[in-house]
Amino acid sequence: MFRIGIGNDTHRLARGRPLILGGVRIESEFGAEGHSDADALVHAIIDAILGALVLGDIGAHFPDTDPRWKNADSLELLRAVRERMQAEGYAIVNVDSIVMLERPRLRPHIEEMRARLAAALETDTNNVSVKAKTGERVDAVGESRAVMAQAVVILESSSR
Protein backbone atom coordinates (compact mmCIF):
# COMPACT_ATOMS: atom_id res chain seq x y z
CA MET A 1 0.00 0.00 0.00
CA PHE A 2 1.59 3.24 -1.18
CA ARG A 3 0.52 6.84 -0.76
CA ILE A 4 1.88 9.96 -2.48
CA GLY A 5 1.93 13.54 -1.17
CA ILE A 6 2.95 16.97 -2.45
CA GLY A 7 3.89 20.13 -0.58
CA ASN A 8 5.21 23.61 -1.24
CA ASP A 9 6.05 26.64 0.85
CA THR A 10 7.14 30.25 0.42
CA HIS A 11 8.72 32.65 2.89
CA ARG A 12 9.55 36.29 2.39
CA LEU A 13 13.23 37.20 2.80
CA ALA A 14 14.34 40.01 5.09
CA ARG A 15 17.60 41.44 6.36
CA GLY A 16 18.64 40.36 9.84
CA ARG A 17 16.62 37.14 9.93
CA PRO A 18 18.34 33.73 10.15
CA LEU A 19 18.22 31.56 7.03
CA ILE A 20 17.46 27.95 7.98
CA LEU A 21 16.77 25.35 5.30
CA GLY A 22 16.48 21.64 5.85
CA GLY A 23 17.43 22.26 9.48
CA VAL A 24 20.76 23.84 8.47
CA ARG A 25 21.63 27.42 9.44
CA ILE A 26 23.13 29.13 6.39
CA GLU A 27 25.22 32.29 6.45
CA SER A 28 23.25 34.85 4.45
CA GLU A 29 22.59 38.57 4.19
CA PHE A 30 18.86 37.76 4.05
CA GLY A 31 16.87 35.32 6.15
CA ALA A 32 13.31 34.06 6.01
CA GLU A 33 10.41 35.75 7.80
CA GLY A 34 7.85 33.60 9.57
CA HIS A 35 6.33 32.57 12.85
CA SER A 36 8.50 29.49 13.35
CA ASP A 37 12.11 29.35 12.17
CA ALA A 38 10.64 29.77 8.64
CA ASP A 39 12.33 26.66 7.23
CA ALA A 40 10.54 26.48 3.87
CA LEU A 41 12.07 23.13 2.91
CA VAL A 42 10.98 21.38 6.10
CA HIS A 43 7.52 22.96 5.83
CA ALA A 44 7.09 21.67 2.27
CA ILE A 45 8.09 18.14 3.35
CA ILE A 46 5.68 18.29 6.31
CA ASP A 47 2.85 19.28 3.97
CA ALA A 48 3.76 16.45 1.58
CA ILE A 49 3.61 13.86 4.38
CA LEU A 50 0.35 15.26 5.78
CA GLY A 51 -1.05 15.28 2.25
CA ALA A 52 -0.13 11.65 1.67
CA LEU A 53 -1.99 10.77 4.88
CA VAL A 54 -4.93 13.09 4.04
CA LEU A 55 -4.43 14.85 7.37
CA GLY A 56 -4.80 18.45 6.23
CA ASP A 57 -1.89 20.88 6.17
CA ILE A 58 0.82 22.30 8.40
CA GLY A 59 -1.31 25.29 9.39
CA ALA A 60 -3.96 23.00 10.85
CA HIS A 61 -1.43 21.10 12.97
CA PHE A 62 0.88 23.99 13.96
CA PRO A 63 -1.20 27.20 13.73
CA ASP A 64 0.87 30.38 13.47
CA THR A 65 -1.46 31.98 16.02
CA ASP A 66 -0.18 29.51 18.65
CA PRO A 67 2.70 30.95 20.72
CA ARG A 68 4.09 27.40 21.11
CA TRP A 69 5.31 27.55 17.50
CA LYS A 70 6.92 31.01 17.68
CA ASN A 71 10.55 30.57 16.53
CA ALA A 72 9.95 26.81 16.67
CA ASP A 73 12.62 24.47 15.33
CA SER A 74 10.89 23.10 12.24
CA LEU A 75 12.78 19.81 12.55
CA GLU A 76 10.86 19.33 15.82
CA LEU A 77 7.62 19.77 13.88
CA LEU A 78 8.87 17.31 11.25
CA ARG A 79 9.67 14.74 13.96
CA ALA A 80 6.15 15.18 15.38
CA VAL A 81 4.64 14.61 11.92
CA ARG A 82 6.88 11.56 11.37
CA GLU A 83 5.62 10.14 14.69
CA ARG A 84 2.03 10.68 13.52
CA MET A 85 2.90 8.99 10.20
CA GLN A 86 4.32 5.98 12.07
CA ALA A 87 1.24 5.88 14.30
CA GLU A 88 -0.84 5.68 11.11
CA GLY A 89 1.27 2.68 10.06
CA TYR A 90 3.41 4.28 7.35
CA ALA A 91 7.12 4.74 6.63
CA ILE A 92 8.99 6.91 4.12
CA VAL A 93 9.87 5.29 0.77
CA ASN A 94 11.54 8.43 -0.56
CA VAL A 95 11.36 12.21 -0.57
CA ASP A 96 12.32 14.46 -3.47
CA SER A 97 12.52 18.20 -2.99
CA ILE A 98 13.61 21.48 -4.55
CA VAL A 99 14.70 24.65 -2.75
CA MET A 100 14.51 27.82 -4.81
CA LEU A 101 16.80 30.62 -3.60
CA GLU A 102 18.81 33.15 -5.57
CA ARG A 103 21.74 33.39 -3.15
CA PRO A 104 23.78 32.18 -1.43
CA ARG A 105 24.43 29.01 -3.37
CA LEU A 106 23.06 26.05 -1.42
CA ARG A 107 25.13 23.27 -2.95
CA PRO A 108 27.70 23.19 -0.08
CA HIS A 109 24.86 22.59 2.41
CA ILE A 110 22.85 19.93 0.56
CA GLU A 111 24.49 16.88 2.16
CA GLU A 112 23.96 18.21 5.68
CA MET A 113 20.30 19.02 4.88
CA ARG A 114 19.76 15.48 3.57
CA ALA A 115 21.35 13.98 6.69
CA ARG A 116 19.26 16.08 9.08
CA LEU A 117 16.02 15.47 7.20
CA ALA A 118 16.69 11.72 7.00
CA ALA A 119 17.42 11.55 10.75
CA ALA A 120 14.19 13.41 11.58
CA LEU A 121 12.27 11.08 9.26
CA GLU A 122 14.02 7.94 10.57
CA THR A 123 14.96 6.91 7.06
CA ASP A 124 18.20 6.42 5.13
CA THR A 125 19.91 9.49 3.65
CA ASN A 126 19.67 7.74 0.26
CA ASN A 127 15.88 8.12 0.49
CA VAL A 128 16.03 11.92 0.76
CA SER A 129 16.82 14.08 -2.27
CA VAL A 130 17.32 17.85 -2.01
CA LYS A 131 17.92 19.90 -5.15
CA ALA A 132 18.73 23.60 -5.28
CA LYS A 133 17.72 26.04 -8.00
CA THR A 134 17.98 29.80 -8.44
CA GLY A 135 15.25 32.03 -9.85
CA GLU A 136 17.38 33.24 -12.77
CA ARG A 137 17.10 36.79 -11.39
CA VAL A 138 13.39 37.10 -12.22
CA ASP A 139 10.30 37.14 -10.00
CA ALA A 140 10.28 36.90 -6.20
CA VAL A 141 12.95 34.20 -5.90
CA GLY A 142 15.22 35.67 -8.56
CA GLU A 143 15.01 39.12 -6.98
CA SER A 144 15.91 37.67 -3.53
CA ARG A 145 12.51 38.61 -2.10
CA ALA A 146 11.49 35.03 -1.30
CA VAL A 147 12.65 31.49 -0.70
CA MET A 148 10.42 28.70 -1.98
CA ALA A 149 10.46 24.92 -1.62
CA GLN A 150 8.61 22.00 -3.17
CA ALA A 151 8.50 18.39 -2.04
CA VAL A 152 6.94 15.10 -3.01
CA VAL A 153 6.91 12.01 -0.85
CA ILE A 154 5.89 8.39 -1.20
CA LEU A 155 4.92 6.43 1.90
CA GLU A 156 4.41 2.70 2.25
CA SER A 157 2.38 0.83 4.76
CA SER A 158 4.82 -0.56 7.31
CA SER A 159 2.44 -3.34 8.40
CA ARG A 160 2.98 -5.97 5.71
Closest separation in Å from C-beta 97 to Zn ion: 13
Q: Which of 3, 7, 9, 92 binds Zn ion (CB under 5 A)?
A: 9
Q: Does the protein bind Zn ion through residue 37 (CB under 5 A)? A: no
Contacts of 117 (CB under 8 A, 6+ apart): 22, 23, 41, 42, 45, 78, 95, 128, 130
Nearest to 151 by CA among 85, 113, 99: 99
Closest separation in Å from C-beta 45 to Zn ion: 11
Bond preceding residue 104 cis, omega within 30 of 0 = yes
Distance CA 111, CA 32 (A): 21
For residue 52, give the 3-state DSSP assignment.
Answer: helix
Stretch that binds Zn ion, among 12-20, 39-47, 94-102, 106-114 (CB under 5 A): 39-47
Closest separation in Å from C-beta 5 to Zn ion: 16
Closest separation in Å from C-beta 14 to Zn ion: 14
The answer to whether 47 and 77 are in contact (CB under 8 A) is no
* Phi and psi angles of residue 158, each rounded to the nearest 5 degrees, phi first: -90, -5
Element (H, E) at 80: helix 74-87
What string marks each residue from 83 to 122 as x (binds Zn ion by CB under 5 A) or -?
----------------------------------------
Q: Does the protein bind Zn ion through residue 43 (CB under 5 A)? A: yes
Kindly state the number of chain residues that form the binding site for Zn ion, as judged by CB under 5 A: 2
Closest separation in Å from C-beta 2 to Zn ion: 26
By Cβ distance, which residue is nearest to Zn ion? 43
Q: Whose Cβ is closer to Zn ion: residue 35's or residue 84's?
A: 35
Interacting residues with Zn ion (CB under 5 A) = 9, 43
